[in-house]
Structure 1
Amino acid sequence: MSGIAGELAGVRRAFAQPTLTLLHQRQAAVVITIFREAFGRNNVPIPTARLHAQVEEHLAEVRAAGETDLPTGSGREICQRWMRGQWLVRSLDEGGREVYTLTSHAQQALELVKNLARDRATLSEHRIATILGTVRRFNAEANPDRGARVGLLNAEIARLQAERDRLVDGAELVGATEDYMLEGFTELLSLVSALPSDFARVEERFATIRGEILAAFRAEDRPPGQVIDDYLARADALMTATQEGRAFEGAFALLRDDGLVTQLREDLTALLEHPLADRITSDAERAELRGTVRLVRDGLDRVLAQRSRVTATLKEYIVSRDAVRDRELEQTLRQVESELMTWMVGTGPRATHDVPLLPARTGIEHLRERFHDPADDVLPERIGHPDPEDAPPLSMADLVAQGGPRLAELRERLDASLASLAPAGSLGELFDTLEPPLRRPVEVFGLLHLAADRDWTSEEDSVEAFAAVRPDGSTRTFAVPRTPLPDPDRPDRPDRPDRPDRPQGETRA
């Protein structure tokens, strides 16, 4: 891109800013006049209904004065157009009322018109002295050479000492000329007038951050902790990395220093009491200079209030967030809210959209008939701590009798039966031959366990009785599928016990 083309692109971007779009329109003079008349120099918030009425009254007066090129529509419609042009912003004050305030772009346009309306000062001694003093002070504070900075301070100290000695010795006191005072007051008014737009710019930055935080919470595409960390980082960068933020921090530091505030008031009072001040400044300009401290305080209060709204938004979200809420319903409501905001941005104030009063009927196969009863969540009574001495005494024999099956002894008796000359025919027959301590009900399960471990099968269509004896001497008979014992004479039996061969001709009884 050539030099002239790049310059043209930069100028077009500048003309696209809301400040120049306000000044570039045909009705700019009328709009600027209404803004100056309604909001004044302090940009006092105005309730929405009152500003609508004021706009209609001001337009009627201007129309009666012969002006024909005026904004059309009611006061509400005109303010809506000014909001879309980013010259007005609507918000809630501390009392919960809707109010209008000027944006930083509108305040910058008002300040530009105000400076052009003043009598412009030409090249003067005061302006040259101001430039020289600013450059020298800047160099004394920023020069990286220690020796050079010390030399500048020594020269300044010597100059001030010489001026002091001259005045103490009774030398002639040179007074400021009228041109010098006029130039000084003009530059001072220009600096003070730029403060409201600077504060408004910081306030708008916080409002933008608040909208982005709300959008991030609605989208839920990032964890809440990450959104909060991002806000803290951006707020810190706003105060340290931008010109408006640094100006805000400087003003805040000024108001925290009572000595500096007192010195500022005394210096302004001394300047306004100068013999030439009444002749070269108007009543409005003197009132503007006297209200400098209040102007700074009001701007700081609005910025702090906007920052408090951002903090309150974070606090409200964190406190009201329920971890067990219905996620699907919450996401649906957030999507509806987001779509509604998008629809409102692209529509007019009187646009309508048909929405059914009730949702469509939903078919549900079953509804809950029993709901939560708080009485069901009552905790059981606390278990007491009995005295160990109250427990009945138990012997080792009693503990063994109440235990599980004695598999080792059962396995020995089972192997002995298989190795004998007259083995039992089934588990039930073997059980009947055992002594009472091995015929407890639990020993039935022990025998079945040993049979299953040796892959012995039961006869499902045949049942045999197990006459068990409890430790207290009572009896109980169990009907158990009959499990025959294998033939000990089969050579292929895997569990055949090692014993001598039977004599020839001996048969099994």
Structure 2
Amino acid sequence: MSEIAGELARVKGAFAQPTLTLLHQRQAPVVITIFRAAFGRHNRPIPTARLHTQVEEHLAAIRLAGEQDVPVGTGSQICQRWMRGQWLVRSLDDSGREVYALTSHAQQALELVKNLARDRATLSEHRIATILGTVRRFNSEANPDRSARVSILNEEIARLQLERDRLVEGADMVGATEDYMLEGFTELLSLISALPSDFARVEERFATIRGEILAAFRAEDRPAGEVIDDYLARADALMTATHEGRAFEGAFMLLRDDALVTQLREDLTALLEHPLADRIISDADRAEVRGTVRLVRDGLDRVLAQRSRVTATLKEYIVSHDAARDRELEQTLRQVESELMTWMATTGPRAAHDVPLLPARAAVEHLRERFHDPADDLLPERIGQADPDDAPPLALADLMAQGGPKLSSLRRRLDEALVSLTPVSSLGELFDELEPSLRRPVEIFGLLHLAADREWRADDATEPYVAVRADGTRRTFAVPRTPLPDPDLREKREKREKKDTRR
């Protein structure tokens, strides 16, 4: 193959990529516009039903604007075509919902359109300085000659030291020009815009590996251990042997270093607060620069979530795979094959036999849930005779102090209070006049119980009950006030009831 033929083959391969097929079609401006409006710059997953509705609404608005060449069909049909074009991918999120997300090819197309729509200079001092600095730093880190590396570092240290001394001595600071700042922000935005597609490529690689693992498990043409070993080898190669994997590892190491993350935030803030920044970049670009760290975190989270799905697939297969059940199924199939061969030996080639799709259900009236266990008929072990001396000493007064209310004593004291020459007006006053042994907290319930038996009503107001515990401590309770009936009124009522009975 000649050189020009090989170059043509490579160009055709590039044009066959989904990125260029998206940009090469007639409806590319409409599709790119819908992608940018629906997914934004962060490519957040969108539920399937919501994206279908958004596509229909956006297409209706584009038609009203006068555009004629737009996709036709419902939102679901259009999204299906975009999935076949490898511009959309449908998956399940953490909550089990179906969501759409842009593929790395679609994000790369959006990035190209965004870069072409952004004003940028063809040649500038900033770009040349960036190239020189990148080459110098690259050489200082990759040069195999030790003395050459030391010389480069010494020159850089001397240059920085000279600049530092000049600034400390009060020399004039050389300010950046507007063209320099514009070119710097343009290159920075270009680098930031490439991050989502880079993370999407790693995420798609893991999704592809997951699909291949599931297919290998279902085929059962290889042992499960071999499939798992293959996954581990491919995952390690993805992180070390591909550009996307190495970029992912670098971003992961960056976010693990709090000092680097803090330095990145401070540098971005300083650039955005530059006096010339307001005239150079728009509010959208400013928000994009400010959200760089969050953009990297979101990309890492999606890649880690996709890798977790692959790990979960392996774990589910390992846990749920039952070798004994597989052997039973294999034996059953062999028995069926044996019976089929026996039947074919005694019948003609056109013989037919009706075989039910599912076996008949067994009619069993009752299945025993518990069977005889000889251990249930054993007598329990004999209880040994306890020694009374081992029991802890406990006085009768201690037992009574821990018991319930002394209803008999409370009833007697309540009757005495009703016929006393100086009767009390409520249960709370009666409780305060009792001796400490009858003023335990539990005795309050005893008095209320006796009052309920006699159908005495309580007021809305409360009164204090100062109780005395067995250890001598006091505690005050707020209890609804229960007034005691007047004894004179009670005698008159009893006489009236006796008179009514005689009549």
TM-score with structure 1 setting the length: 0.66
Task: Give the partner amino acid of 1:102.
Answer: L
**1:250-287 Cα deviation digits (max 9, x unpaired):** 10001000000000000000000000001010000000
CA distance in 2, matches of 1:324, 1:282: 66
Residue 323 of structure 1 and its aligned partner are, at CA, apart by 1.8
SS in 1 for 2:176: coil
- Please say if 1:146 is aligned against 2:146: yes
Show the counterpart of 1:402.
Answer: none
Task: Give the partner amino acid of 1:5.
Answer: A
Show the counterpart of 1:209.
Answer: 209
- CA spacing shift, 1:154–1:318, aligned 2, 3 Å: same
Residue 174 of structure 1 and its aligned partner are, at CA, apart by 0.3
CA distance in 2, matches of 1:200, 1:364: 49
SS in 2 for 1:324: helix
Unpaired runs of at least 5, structure 2: 334-353, 377-503
- CA spacing shift, 1:106–1:380, aligned 2, 3 Å: same
- Please say if 1:160 is aligned against 2:155: no
- CA spacing shift, 1:239–1:330, aligned 2, 3 Å: farther
Residue 326 of structure 1 and its aligned partner are, at CA, apart by 4.4
Show the counterpart of 1:56.
Answer: 56
Show the counterpart of 1:415.
Answer: none
Residue 361 of structure 1 and its aligned partner are, at CA, apart by 1.5
Task: Give the partner amino acid of 2:15.
Answer: F
Show the counterpart of 2:124.
Answer: 124
SS in 2 for 1:325: helix
**1:289-328 Cα deviation digits (max 9, x unpaired):** 0000000000000000000000011111111111221458
- CA spacing shift, 1:364–1:86, aligned 2, 3 Å: closer
- CA spacing shift, 1:42–1:272, aligned 2, 3 Å: same
What does residue range 417-428 of structure 1 map to in structure 2 within 5 Å?
A: none
SS in 1 for 2:6: helix
Q: Choose from 354, 361, 373 the match for 2:356.
A: 361
Task: Give the partner amino acid of 1:294.
Answer: R
**1:364-406 Cα deviation digits (max 9, x unpaired):** 89x999999887896999xxxxxxxxxxxxxxxxxxxxxxxxx
- CA spacing shift, 1:215–1:373, aligned 2, 3 Å: farther
Show the counterpart of 1:320.
Answer: 320
- CA spacing shift, 1:364–1:177, aligned 2, 3 Å: closer
CA distance in 2, matches of 1:331, 1:241: 45
- Please say if 1:91 is aligned against 2:86: no
Show the counterpart of 2:280.
Answer: 280
Q: Choose 1 or 2 for highest CA Rg.
A: 1
Show the counterpart of 2:66.
Answer: 66
Show the counterpart of 1:311.
Answer: 311
Residue 121 of structure 1 and its aligned partner are, at CA, apart by 1.3
Task: Give the partner amino acid of 2:173.
Answer: L
Show the counterpart of 2:108.
Answer: 108
**1:5-27 Cα deviation digits (max 9, x unpaired):** 11111110000000000000010
Show the counterpart of 1:236.
Answer: 236
- CA spacing shift, 1:62–1:330, aligned 2, 3 Å: farther
Show the counterpart of 2:247.
Answer: 247
CA distance in 2, matches of 1:375, 1:71: 67
What does residue range 274-423 of structure 1 map to in structure 2 within 5 Å?
A: 274-326=274-326, 361=356
**1:337-360 Cα deviation digits (max 9, x unpaired):** xxxxxxxxxxxxxxxxxxxxxx96
CA distance in 2, matches of 1:8, 1:162: 53
CA distance in 2, matches of 1:112, 1:94: 31
- CA spacing shift, 1:215–1:379, aligned 2, 3 Å: farther
SS in 1 for 2:101: strand
CA distance in 2, matches of 1:331, 1:40: 56
Residue 120 of structure 1 and its aligned partner are, at CA, apart by 2.3
CA distance in 2, matches of 1:332, 1:108: 53
- CA spacing shift, 1:251–1:379, aligned 2, 3 Å: farther
CA distance in 1, matches of 2:219, 2:64: 52
- CA spacing shift, 1:48–1:360, aligned 2, 3 Å: farther
**1:163-211 Cα deviation digits (max 9, x unpaired):** 0001111111000000000000000000000000000000000000000
**1:208-251 Cα deviation digits (max 9, x unpaired):** 00000000100111111111111111111100110000000010
CA distance in 1, matches of 2:332, 2:167: 79
- CA spacing shift, 1:78–1:328, aligned 2, 3 Å: farther
| The structure with more helix, counted as a fraction of residues | 2
CA distance in 2, matches of 1:326, 1:140: 60
Show the counterpart of 1:424.
Answer: none
CA distance in 1, matches of 2:305, 2:330: 30
CA distance in 2, matches of 1:363, 1:80: 37
Residue 95 of structure 1 and its aligned partner are, at CA, apart by 1.0
CA distance in 1, matches of 2:359, 2:100: 50
Task: Give the partner amino acid of 2:57.
Answer: E
- CA spacing shift, 1:165–1:368, aligned 2, 3 Å: same
What does residue range 4-19 of structure 1 map to in structure 2 within 5 Å?
A: 4-19=4-19
Task: Give the partner amino acid of 1:58.
Answer: H
Between Structure 1 and Structure 2, how many residues are aligned?
356
Task: Give the partner amino acid of 1:109.
Answer: A
- CA spacing shift, 1:322–1:237, aligned 2, 3 Å: same
CA distance in 1, matches of 2:275, 2:134: 27
What does residue range 487-498 of structure 1 map to in structure 2 within 5 Å?
A: none
Percent of aligned positions with the same letter in both sequences? Answer: 82
CA distance in 1, matches of 2:67, 2:232: 50
Show the counterpart of 2:174.
Answer: 174
CA distance in 2, matches of 1:363, 1:59: 50
Show the counterpart of 1:223.
Answer: 223
CA distance in 1, matches of 2:114, 2:29: 12
Residue 122 of structure 1 and its aligned partner are, at CA, apart by 1.8
TM-score with structure 2 setting the length: 0.67
**1:405-437 Cα deviation digits (max 9, x unpaired):** xxxxxxxxxxxxxxxxxxxxxxxxxxxxxxxxx
RMSD of aligned Cα (Å) = 2.7
**1:141-172 Cα deviation digits (max 9, x unpaired):** 00000000000000000000000001111111
Which contiguous aligned blocks of 4+ residues in structure 1 show a shift greater than 2 angstroms? 326-333, 362-365, 367-381
**1:122-155 Cα deviation digits (max 9, x unpaired):** 2110000000000000000000000000000000
SS in 2 for 1:170: coil
What does residue range 421-500 of structure 1 map to in structure 2 within 5 Å?
A: none
- CA spacing shift, 1:128–1:332, aligned 2, 3 Å: farther
